[in-house]
Amino acid sequence: MTAPLPLYVDDRLGHWAAETPDAEAMTYGGRTWTWSEWNDRVRRAAGGLQALGVGRGDVVAFLDKNHPACVEVSLAAGSLGAANAIVNWRSAVDEVDYAVNDSGARVLFVGSEMRPTLDKVRDRLVSVEDVLEVTPEGAAGDEYEAWLRSSSPVGRPEDVQPDDVCLVMYSSGTTGRPKGVMLTHTNLVRHSIAAHDGWSFEPGDKNLVAMPLFHVGGSSYVLFGIHDGIPSVITREPDGASLAGAITAGANRTFLVPAVLAGVLQNGPDAVRVFSGLRSFTYGASPMPLPLLRAAMQAWPETDFIQVYGLTEVAGVATHLMPDAHRDAEHPERLLSAGRPVPGVEVRIVDPATRLDVPVGERGEIWLRTAQLMKGFLGKPEETAAVVTEDGWFRTGDLGRVDEDGFVFVQDRLKDLIISGGENIYSPEVERVLAEHPAVQEVAVIGVPDDTWGETVKAVVVLRPGAHVDEAELVAWCRDRLAHFKCPRTVDLVAALPRNATGKVLKRELRKPFWAGRDRAV
């Protein structure tokens, strides 16, 4: 069934409610809604927001673990020309205070588990006029459910435009405070269409949404099932039991971070058997160690693996490595790439100093131009101008190269480049070598200060359960495979690497004790 191309994020929901009203749309916990039921909830949420005075240009906020209500509020606010600012529920109290106030939210939806955090900052939330509590199971007394029942459904006002901001996603905040990334209807719709290139859902598929909705990998990915009109399952968290339960119940397509895959493989044959029910496994948001990827492809030979590279600022996916490239025996080197750009995304590799394009195959900063590009950082025009050129190119801050066949290799963050004695050292190159050691489970490579060389290379390593290896052996392993200047001078063995809520290793936390009191942090 062919649907018209959408202009707004809620267009496809209305389409499927009209075309397949009684088909399953969304499952969460013990509750399931059809397309007509779910569309009615979104229309009632829009009416409820309108009754609270929310209109075009306004912002509401959502603070909870994964919940369909968050998606409903995003679609409902967007249909009014307003935006939903989704707050990281793992945030500390002061971080919640910052995000809600920075967004200027007029209405705040809060999960009952998050209520203690809200109570600590409620008197500091200067713009919030109304608070509605959401329970995980929609039990009796749920304020959100009562609010929906009492609200009258409304459609989209005529003054709403595709360029209106409908979602505010807060960046990871690798330096300073997180910035609110403003994504429009156009950004998200174009992303849904472009990131679908080369694959699509099929009848009988069920989409598993487990990435946190405060991350673009959750809030953009949930739109895929809505776009194609296939049912979705939302898990409250991406824990093993929830994922296994969803897959056992028929979910067969998902997007997760590589760390989840590592956990499955470590949990033994039963876990591997359950996950063999996945037709496709899309991964991204953090690098996939090559040994882990090889082990996963061997464990699930019938599963399509898709790697994606992207950023919140471009609504999610910018490039993807498709299933055929994963299993291309003639080009195994492409497993180290992030694939080719999705339709509508232009890529340049630029010398950060001269801002001139570098030759094919050479390293530089990755620049992107696309209709998926954010409207800007909320309330921060100067910071927006620092990363978006006048002709629309977005400076990603990532270092990489493009080969002669158009495959993009993302190699480091510009700020993570290690310069030792005038030599440029790219940490992923060292990490890939160390990850091949049979005793190594995870590794992060950072630069630490050195009075002679400026910086030297340090590896922070997590060993596999039961494995034993010393620092000297790991350094020797690298020296057999890399130029000596690239090899770690020191190795720290730790129980776990620090990560943010989406699974990215927090290298700034690893660097912090070494750079404390110095004039620069890298």
Which two three-digit tokens encode residue 80? 């009014």
> Is the per-residue pLDDT at 520 higher than 50?
no
> Is the per-residue pLDDT at 242 higher than 80?
yes
> Is the per-residue pLDDT at 175 higher than 50?
no
**Span 134-163, average pLDDT:** 95
What confidence score (pLDDT) does residue 518 get?
58
Q: Which of 39-48, 59-68, 281-290 has the lowest mean pLDDT?
A: 281-290
Give the three-state DSSP class for 52: coil
Sign (positive or negative) of CA dihedral 196, 200, 204, 205? negative
**Span 13-22, average pLDDT:** 97
In terms of pLDDT, which residue wins out, 415 or 230?
230
Q: Is 3 exposed, middle or buried (0-12, 13-18, 19+ CB in 10 A)?
A: middle
| Assigned CATH topology for domain 1-185 | Rossmann fold (3.40.50)
Instruction: Provide CB contacts within 8 A for 200, sequence distance 6+.
Output: 228
Residue 134: strand pairing partners: 111
Question: Which residue is it, tokens 């991204």?
Answer: 284
pTM: 0.84
Tens of pLDDT, residue by residue over 459-483, are: 999 999 999 999 999 999 999 888 7
In terms of pLDDT, which residue wins out, 288 or 357?
357
| Consecutive H or E run containing 33 | strand 31-34
The backbone torsions φ and ψ at residue 291, rounded to the nearest 5 degrees and listed phi first, read -60, -40
The backbone torsions φ and ψ at residue 479, rounded to the nearest 5 degrees and listed phi first, read -65, -25
pLDDT-based confidence at 46, cuts 50/70/90?
A: very high
pLDDT-based confidence at 519, cuts 50/70/90?
A: very low
Tens of pLDDT, residue by residue over 493-509, are: 999 999 886 678 888 88
pLDDT-based confidence at 193, cuts 50/70/90?
A: very high
Sign (positive or negative) of CA dihedral 422, 427, 431, 432? negative
Q: Is CATH 3.40.470.10 the right assignment for the domain spanning 424-515?
A: no
Which two three-digit tokens encode residue 263? 């956990």
Residue 490: strand pairing partners: 458
What confidence score (pLDDT) does residue 315 get?
97
Residue 367: strand pairing partners: 348, 395
pLDDT-based confidence at 515, cuts 50/70/90?
A: confident
- Are the C-beta atoms of 432 and 420 separated by less than 8 Å? no
Rounded CA gap, 133 and 448, in Å?
46
pLDDT-based confidence at 361, cuts 50/70/90?
A: very high
Rounded CA gap, 235 and 251, in Å?
11
Instruction: Provide CB contacts within 8 A for 467, sequence distance 6+.
Output: 438, 439, 440, 441
**Span 146-168, average pLDDT:** 97
**Span 398-422, average pLDDT:** 85
Question: Which residue is it, tokens 């359960």?
Answer: 465
Query: What DSSP letter does each residue of 449-510 carry, written as one string?
Result: EETTTEEEEEEEEEEPTT----HHHHHHHHHTTS-GGGS-SEEEE-S---B-TTS-B-HHHH
In terms of pLDDT, which residue wins out, 422 or 274?
274
Whole-Å CA distances, 200 to 229, 237, 381, 388, 513: 11, 25, 37, 31, 46
Tens of pLDDT, residue by residue over 367-392, are: 999 999 999 999 999 999 999 999 99
- Residues 30/31/34/35 CA torsion (nearest 10 deg): -120
Query: What DSSP letter does each residue of 204-267 carry, written as one string?
Result: T--EEE-S-TTSHHHHTTHHHHHHHT--EEE-SS--HHHHHHHHHTT--EEEE-HHHHHHHHHT
Rounded CA gap, 37 and 50, in Å?
20
Which two three-digit tokens encode residue 98? 């910052």
What confidence score (pLDDT) does residue 349 get?
98
Rounded CA gap, 259 and 286, in Å?
9
For the chain, percent of residues with pLDDT exceeding 70: 95
Q: Where are the domains of the chain?
A: 1-185, 424-515
Rounded CA gap, 219 and 86, in Å?
9
> Is the per-residue pLDDT at 428 higher than 60?
yes
**Angle at which helices 290-299 and 427-435 pack, to 10 degrees?**
50
> Is the per-residue pLDDT at 259 higher than 80?
no
pLDDT-based confidence at 174, cuts 50/70/90?
A: very low
Classify each residue of 340-370 as buried b or exposed e, where b means 16 or more C-beta atoms within 10 Å of its C-beta: bbbeebebbbbeeeeeeebeeeebbbbbbbb
For the chain, percent of residues with pLDDT exceeding 90: 76
> Is the per-residue pLDDT at 60 higher than 60?
yes
> How far does the chain reach from its first CA to its final CA, in angstroms?
53
Q: Which of 25-39, 301-315, 390-404, 442-456 has the lowest mean pLDDT?
A: 442-456
What confidence score (pLDDT) does residue 424 get?
66
Query: What DSSP letter does each residue of 264-287 carry, written as one string?
Result: HHHT-HHHHHHHTT-SEEEE-SS-
